[in-house]
Chain A
Amino acid sequence: GDSVTQMEGPVTLSEEAFLTINCTYTATGYPSLFWYVQYPGEGLQLLLKATKADDKGSNKGFEATYRKETTSFHLEKGSVQVSDSAVYFCALRDDYKLSFGAGTTVTVRA
């Protein structure tokens, strides 16, 4: 079945540091790929998405590129802020349901 593997962390960074969270997937079809974010005390929110190979999703300074050749969708941000502290989930959707990675807890220190 479909599955997602992501770097589990936790990850602790200083403000303005570069963030990368690795995500790879296994799917039989051609899934859409997503990054969701869960801020402390809040619900799950869509951060960005890509629906086909070579698409780049971006939002709030975060980017991820759908790489079919490496089955990857790594999340990057060039300069993190304290407000980026959250749990980040990589996910795929092949038809109607989402399959999630384990989540990566990111803490950004001032």
Chain B
Amino acid sequence: GAGVSQSPSNKVTEKGKDVELRCDPISGHTALYWYRQSLGQGLEFLIYFQGNSAPDKSGLPSDRFSAERTGGSVSTLTIQRTQQEDSAVYLCASRIAGGRSEQYFGPGTRLTVT
């Protein structure tokens, strides 16, 4: 079946602009995660969704970052007033909730802020 998909695969934006990154999880996966992979910071957890609610937003680096999930499926990560330090690869992962099920990762969106 289809894996986790993310769009766009690459995004170049000017400093100060807003961007939206999209994640389509594997069908039936109720848990969804966003991570950020950047030079010097490694892989950082951003936010966790269970269904449409986000019980853990502790990794969002500032109030410029927000995310939502609708219909228990697609999620959008929004970065407002982008800064150069936001440049990174944003990864989405999903898994079946409960037990010790694995997280399956999407290919990522490479964001470059110029």
> Which residues of A are in contact with B by a Cβ distance under 8 Å?
32, 36, 42-46, 49, 51, 89, 91, 96-103
Contact = CB atoms under 8 A, between A and B. Distances in A.
B105 A43 contact: yes
Interface residues of B, number: 18
Interface of B: 31, 33, 35, 42-45, 48, 56, 91, 93, 100, 102-103, 105-108
A97 B42 contact: no
Nearest to B47: A97
Contact of B56 (A43, A89, A97): A97
23 contacts: A32-B100, A36-B105, A42-B107, A43-B91, A43-B107, A44-B91, A44-B93, A49-B102, A51-B100, A96-B31, A96-B48, A96-B56, A97-B45, A97-B48, A97-B56, A99-B45, A100-B35, A100-B42, A100-B43, A100-B44, A101-B42, A102-B42, A103-B43
A84 B31 CA distance: 30
